[in-house]
Structures are given as C-alpha cells and as structure tokens.
Amino acid sequence: MKRLSKRLISLFEGYINNTLSDSEKAAFFETLRSESRQEDVRALIDLEIKKLDLGEVEIDRFLSEENAGGILQRVLQDGADRSKDNLFKPYLSNVTGDAAAPDIATASVSLKKEKRVKRLAILRWAVAASVLVLLCAGLYWGIAGKQDEKKTLAATAPQEQYDVLPGRNSAMIILSDGSRINLDSAMDGKIGQEENTRVVKQNGQLSYKSVGLNRKTLYNTITTARGNQYSLVLPDGTRVWLNAESSITFPTAFIENERSVKISGEAYLEVAKIKNRPFKAFFSDGAEIEVLGTHFNINSYHDEPAARATLLEGKIRVRNARETRLLEPGQQAYIKNNHPMEIIRNADVEAAVAWKNGFFSFRNADIQTIMLHLARWYDLDVSYKGAPRNEKFSGEIDRSLTLASVLAILDKTKVRFRIEKENKLIILP
C-alpha cells in the first residue's frame, strides 16, 4: 500500500468524523483536488476499509454517483444542526434493510447495539466512498460550485490572473574552495571532494562519506533561497532540514572532540548520538545550543522579533550572553537580544515543526506574521493598501497548495488580496 503522510491520514479521519475546522476542510479538499493525489485517495480508502467489518452488507450502491451527489449536498450544508445529524442517515435503510432507519444513538438492547455498530461502520465507509466517487467522476467541484459561498467547505481559488507555485526542494552548496553548486540541477552521485571526504547527492539528499583520514578542518555551507527547502545528512550522521531562506555551515569531517555548526534562519535537527563528543549549534547573536543526542528546532530569522529553540526529544542546554538554561522536551527558549531568556514550558511543539511536516500552523497570528511566512515560502513581495487588520488567525494550511488556494482559505476570514505578476501580493483594506 502507498505510504501516506500522517498529516493526510489525520485530515481524512477528521473529515470522516466531522471534527475538522473550516480551514482544515478547505485544505483537505484542495489537496485531494490535485490529480497527482488520486493514488493517495485510493490508499486512504483502502486504509479505511481495513478498519471495517461489514459482513454481508451490500455497500456497492453507495458507490453510485446519485448517492455520492446526495451525500455531498449534505456535506456542504453548514447549518446549526449539522453536527447533530449523521451525514448518511437517509441512506441507511438502503443497506441495512430497515424500513425507516431508527436513531442509532437510542439503541439499548444487544440486537440494536449490534446494528448500531454495523451502521457506524457503514457510515465511515460511505464517507470514504463518496469522496472517491466524486473525485473520480468529477462531480465534487461541479456540485460545490453551485453552493452558496458561505456553505462551501472546499477552497476554490479566487478569479485572479496570476498565481504562484509553492516552494520546492532546492539549495546551493558552497564548498571550502568557494565554488558554488546548485543542488537542484546537480546530478546524483559525487559532486565534490573535501580532502578525504566525498560530497554525495543521492535521491535529492546530500550526505558526506569519509574515504580516508581527514587532517584539515574544511567547511561547507548549505543555503536555501526564498521558496526553497532542503534536507541533508552531516558527516557525523546528524539529519538536518532547512526551511526557506536559511543556511547551515559545518565541517566536512568532524575531526575535533566537539561537533559545531552555525545556523541562520530555521532548521530542524536530529542529532546523532556520539558519546563524549558534544554537538553545538550556534545561532542568533552568539546564542548556542549544546546537546549529546536530541531532536530540536531553531528559528532565528533576522526579521522575527526573537529567536526560538524548541525541544522535541532529549535535553539541550541553551546559552546566550546573559545566562544558560536547560530545556526539557516540550519546552521552548525565547531569546531576544540581551533580554533575559524566557522559557515556555508547554510550548506548541507541533506548530514549531509544522513547516518540516509540510504545512503552515498559525496560533493567534496577525496578518503580518502570516504574510511573513507566506513570503518566504512563495518568494513574495508583500505590500499593504492601508493599515493592516488587527484580527488574529488560527489554523493549519498545506504548504503544497498554490498561493491563490492558500489565500482563498484566508479569504473566508475576509482577508482581501490581489496577486500581481512577478510574485507581488497586495493586501487590500
């Protein structure tokens, strides 16, 4: 079976169980609309089927376009009683043989309880089936387009002349002799030699392979432009993910007792555990992190109000010019110039690494903060007509969407915009 991202599986299950927010539903449907995701749809269906035990119940009629269309009409209805009524209640009698499908929630005796379990299983399958049929038959978007805008859960792109594609995996490597290689265009295989260390690109990822004793400390730098991200494996086995407009400088062979790297922008690291050889990451005005083996995220963009170090696993020691603090998993260090270091003890870890997992995550963010993230990923020149709005926004959006699709989701919160050529985005009053 095709391997699916946890994010897509989570959205699919949330859709089936009617627990998604409007922005999550919009992101889910927009993701499924792409033809390249049809294989994912089928894999999601297969995954759901394996959870069910439908016995001899006939479910083929749920695959008809007529039923799928009717189901979708109910999905798109966003009335006050939407969450109180099961999406497929009108269709139950067609598969269970009941004359008038009784209220499932009132079952009390064992026979009714057994029917309830069967019906719930059918309902979950019916949701999955309706999504598949509608996507494959091309019905979803035709029906959705006829609904009132306030009742439509799918994010349809606004009628703009221009659009911007999402970022991609690409970076530039600067070798120790100063030569630069675009990793996007470089062929797989050896792309450089640093003393007795080979620089190798394989399946779009960079790694370092020692072929002998290294006596000199040479440095490489990997840098991503706006609209790019990249992952690599350092010479010690540490895995690094770089967000857009970021860089990491590191030795091509760790020949000293201490492993040290320098980071700007944003990076997520899974540090290889090597006894008695601590790993240090320097960032943001001399601040540093010291670890032995751990997973953490560093955000140190120059245009952010402060640097943040978020710990997911293990322990790290964070230092700045004023103090040293020890972090436990789930904590975040907030570092701002020469101010005292602030430790957030119940940090939103998932939001901190959302970029690495393929989506934007906003928690009470203002429009300027959102546009800062979008500008990096879509390589935008953002300007405002009039004063920016003061509202706060929360939600998650798939980073694989085009800019127009992302803005269509924000448009439901009354954010008005205009995309112009040369990646210019204007936020309207």
**Domains of the chain, residue spans:** 6-151, 168-352, 359-428
Q: What is the full per-residue pLDDT of the chain (429 aa) written as tens digits? A: 456 667 777 777 777 666 766 666 666 666 665 544 556 666 666 666 566 554 444 444 444 545 544 544 554 444 334 444 444 445 444 444 443 343 434 434 444 445 555 555 555 555 555 554 444 444 443 333 334 333 333 344 444 458 899 999 999 999 999 999 999 888 889 999 999 999 999 888 899 999 888 989 999 999 999 999 999 999 999 999 999 999 999 999 999 889 999 999 999 999 999 988 899 999 987 799 999 779 999 999 998 989 999 999 999 999 988 899 999 999 999 998 778 899 999 999 999 999 999 999 998 898 999 999 999 999 999 999 988 878 888 888 889 899 988 888 887 777 788 899 889 999 988
**Burial status of residue 6 (CB atoms within 10 A of its CB: 0-12, 13-18, 19 or more):** exposed
What is the topology classification, in CATH, of domain 168-352?
Answer: Jelly Rolls (2.60.120)
Q: What is the pLDDT of residue 421?
A: 87
Give the span between the Cα atoms of 165 and 403, in whole angstroms.
6
Give the span between the Cα atoms of 231 and 269, in whole angstroms.
10
Q: What angle do CA 403, 408, 411 make, to 5 degrees?
A: 125
List beta partners, residue 359: 398
Give the span between the Cα atoms of 149 and 383, in whole angstroms.
27
Give the span between the Cα atoms of 326 and 313, in whole angstroms.
13
Q: What is the pLDDT of residue 209?
A: 93
Q: What is the pLDDT of residue 395?
A: 86
Tokens of 42: 């089928």
CATH 3.20.20.140 is the classification of domain 359-428: no
Give the span between the Cα atoms of 281 and 263, in whole angstroms.
7
Give the span between the Cα atoms of 238 and 184, in whole angstroms.
22
Q: What is the pLDDT of residue 415?
A: 79
Q: What is the pTM of this model?
A: 0.65
Q: What is the DSSP string of 146-189?
A: TS-GGG--S-PPPS-S---PPPEE--EEE-TTS-EEETTTSPSE
Q: What is the pLDDT of residue 157?
A: 43
Tokens of 238: 């540490």
Q: What is the pLDDT of residue 125?
A: 52
CB 310 within 8 A of CB 318: no
Q: What is the pLDDT of residue 16?
A: 64
Q: What is the pLDDT of residue 29?
A: 66
